[in-house]
Amino acid sequence: MTTRREFFINISLVGTALAGGQVFAQAATLSESDPQASALSYKADTTKVDAAKNPKHTAAQACKNCQLYQGKASDAAGACPLFAGKQVAANGWCSAYNKKA
């Protein structure tokens, strides 16, 4: 059972985590040459994705409509949990793309 004191400690920790997330939201832009980005065929412009290497890719797929994208629809870039501490371009794409429901 959660005591009232534990409840407020938990709320406080969530607040700290959210504040930390905002710091990440202002992190550096992910480079296509970053080893992890390159491993996932990341491109900052979805229209530049190599179709031969990524046959399932379509130009309509972009970070901004991916389930993992944490930016707002109007943001030029946003956080992605696959690339902690970096921002991915709203019009970017990687092979872990998963259409937002």
Binding site for ligand SF4 (CB under 6 A): 42, 63, 66, 68-69, 80, 82, 88, 92-94, 96-97
- Nearest approach, Cβ of residue 78 and ligand SF4 (Å): 8
- Nearest approach, Cβ of residue 52 and ligand SF4 (Å): 19
Contact 30, 37 (CB under 8 A): yes
- Nearest approach, Cβ of residue 24 and ligand SF4 (Å): 13
Residue nearer to ligand SF4 on the CB measure, 2 or 55: 55
Residue nearer to ligand SF4 on the CB measure, 8 or 88: 88
Report the SS3 class of residue 17. Answer: helix
List CB contacts of 75: < 8 A, sequence separation 6 or more.
64, 90
Task: Count the alpha carbons within 13 Å of 88 in the hemisphere toward its beta carbon.
Answer: 34
Q: How far is CA 85 from CA 37, 74, 80, in A?
A: 13, 20, 9
- Nearest approach, Cβ of residue 69 and ligand SF4 (Å): 4
Residue nearer to ligand SF4 on the CB measure, 5 or 68: 68
